[in-house]
Structure 1
Amino acid sequence: MKYPIYLIVFILFTSCQQKQNKSSAEPAFYTYGAKNDSAIFYFNKGWELILDYGQWTLSDKAFRNAVSFDSTFIVGKALVGKNTTDLNERIEILNDLNNSQIKVREDDQLILEVTMITLELFNARGQNIKLNEDFLSNFLSTAEKNYRTFIHKHPNESYIKAEYIEVLNAIYGPKIALDSLHNLTTTKQKKIPFFISYSATLESDVGNFEKALSIADDFNTQINDPNIPQPYVLYGSIYLKMDSLSLATSHIDNALQLDPNYIFAQRFKNQINTKLKVIDGND
């Protein structure tokens, strides 16, 4: 009788281990403190729309939908504040966040802290308030530390990882950011539109224009939709760095026709106009 019992125990133990291994291999599902499935769906959709496709207007609606499904969703509310173009609304949201009595988990606090500092920065710029000289460097160091901590705990959270790599670019430059993008992203994440387009952006930042345009072509083929702004902005930003201003203008104008609220497209348009004025002034 001993042997069958040992055999049964062995089978049960092996079965449990297989279940644990299977569970650990599955991607984590992080909720950012949302208590409603619809809230987290629209929160993730907001990130996807803005980072993958450059659809700022639709992204704003998605983040607002997330909060409408869960009024206690503090991280979601912070993203509404980050996305809005209404200065008064952003000021009000930051005040609400500062006065909130809702407790958030430690990992949620990592994201919330960075987003609230971002709101403070945006509000100061909108009100022409001069911040402390160390504000920006302190903000970037906090963002680097918080995002790094978060993505090492939650490596499958792609869009926070995207934010982290953008911060690395701001601090250390495109070469470090490009290496980090390749090293930190999973095989699945490398296929996400943001990481493809951002690798093209970083390649163009280091002067590898031919490679950047090749990646942009691949990205455009993957998107395969003329109504999505991001491919136009990607091409436009690369051509701008190449001083091909006519091509840059054409692509950026197409993006702004699709979504006038695309902040980066607006900035690229201003940069193009500035360069054109310099050229006209030299004629």
Structure 2
Amino acid sequence: MSLKYPIYALVFILFTSCQQKQNKSSTNLAVYTYGAKNDSAVFYFNKGWEHILDYGQWTLSEKAFRKAVDFDSTFIVGKALVGKNTTNLNERIQILNDINSSQIKVSEDDQLILEVTRITLELFNARGQNMKLDQDFISNFLTTAEKNYRTFIHKYPNESYIKAEYIEVLNAIYGAKIALDSLHILTTPKQKKVPFFISYAATLESDLGNFEKALSIADDFNNQINDPNIPQPYVLYGSIYLKMDSLSLATSNLDKALQLDPNHIFAQRFKTQLLTKLNTINTND
């Protein structure tokens, strides 16, 4: 079932409304704590997001989220992110059970994030156990994520990484064009310089077939990162070249990314897609 509905005008109105609210709230620069009671917990929580979304450092991201919980054992949203990042199925199942049975009070705003993450854990656990999900599970999940994230970023427009998650959800539901428009409309001037939003713009341009523009943005992103030990530029180039069927360049970039961080989930997925293409070519030959 396709989730990309032809309601672009309505969605654009929603984006414009969000931008107007964002402009009114842009002076509110306080860091949102997500229910953490410790400054160090908040610091490492935000570091976890930075590692995974800006730099593609999945291993460091997991370590940062774990440190956040180490500093505040009652940090339920932080614990949920540990569950989302761990590769240990048994641990993830236990974390979801702990969250569901927790007596810790969570604010209404924190609950917006926690609800989406809890459903994500249910999805990951079901896949890990080869359990069949209800037919409408994914569409219901995306609907919940869109609603919750939209509500959250209207209230906290300076929270970059939840906004990043929101734009990824919009891409999954409405497609690359709406997601790219929303990225340009919803990001503040400061957020437009955040690495994730630069790299994701390149990804969306490549999804739309605008490969020359995508590569130009990828070059800008790579120049901003300016560190050969960061995986994300290689993942970005690799994904674009994969869509262009430039398989040799895709291979070299994805292999480098996985060498730097073998736990990079998207690099793993792109490499699987790449191998499928190569096998198809070899079979046809």
**TM-score scaled by length of structure 1:** 0.91
Match of 1:86 among 80, 85, 88: 88
Match of 1:151 among 142, 150, 153: 153
Q: Which residue is equivalent to 1:108?
A: 110
Deviation at 1:180, TM superposition (A): 0.2
Q: Which residue is equivalent to 2:123?
A: 121
CA distance in 2, matches of 1:178, 1:275: 27
- Residue deviations 1:188-238, cap 9 Å, x none? 000000000000000000000000000000000000000000000000000
Poorly superposed stretches of 4+, deviation over 6 Å: none
CA distance in 2, matches of 1:129, 1:171: 24
Contact 2:83 2:91 in 1 (8 A): yes
Q: Which residue is equivalent to 2:223?
A: 221
Contact 2:26 2:158 in 1 (8 A): no
Match of 1:259 among 261, 265, 269: 261
- Residue deviations 1:124-179, cap 9 Å, x none? 00000000000000000000000000000000000000000000000000000000
- Residue deviations 1:87-140, cap 9 Å, x none? 000000000000000010000000000000000000000000000000000000
Structure 1 spans left out of the alignment, 5+ residues: 1-22
Deviation at 1:24, TM superposition (A): 7.5
Q: Which residue is equivalent to 2:212?
A: 210
CA distance in 2, matches of 1:266, 1:102: 36
Trace 1:60-71 onto structure 2 (pairs within 5 A): 60-71=62-73
Q: Which amino acid aligns with 1:177?
A: A
CA distance in 2, matches of 1:80, 1:137: 24
Q: Which residue is equivalent to 2:184?
A: 182
Contact 1:28 1:154 in 2 (8 A): no
CA-based RMSD: 0.9
- SS class of match (2:172): helix
Structure 2 spans left out of the alignment, 5+ residues: 1-24
Contact 2:229 2:260 in 1 (8 A): yes
CA distance in 1, matches of 2:29, 2:69: 25
CA distance in 2, matches of 1:191, 1:200: 13
- Residue deviations 1:22-67, cap 9 Å, x none? x972413100000000000000000000000000000000000000
- SS class of match (1:32): coil
- Residue deviations 1:233-276, cap 9 Å, x none? 00000000000000000000000000000000000000000000
Q: Which residue is equivalent to 2:74?
A: 72
Match of 2:100 among 90, 93, 98: 98
Contact 2:45 2:78 in 1 (8 A): yes
CA distance in 2, matches of 1:219, 1:39: 29
Match of 2:247 among 245, 261, 265: 245
Structure number, greater radius of gyration:
1
**TM-score scaled by length of structure 2:** 0.91
CA distance in 1, matches of 2:84, 2:174: 24
Greater RCO (Cα-Cα under 8 Å, separation 6 or more): 2
Q: Which residue is equivalent to 2:10?
A: none
Q: Which residue is equivalent to 2:162?
A: 160
Contact 2:57 2:264 in 1 (8 A): yes
Trace 1:12-31 onto structure 2 (pairs within 5 A): 25-31=27-33
Contact 1:43 1:62 in 2 (8 A): yes
CA distance in 2, matches of 1:170, 1:158: 19
Q: What number of residue pairs does the alignment pair up?
A: 261
Q: Which residue is equivalent to 1:5?
A: none
Contact 2:146 2:166 in 1 (8 A): yes
Q: Which residue is equivalent to 2:14?
A: none
Contact 2:56 2:264 in 1 (8 A): yes
Deviation at 1:278, TM superposition (A): 0.3
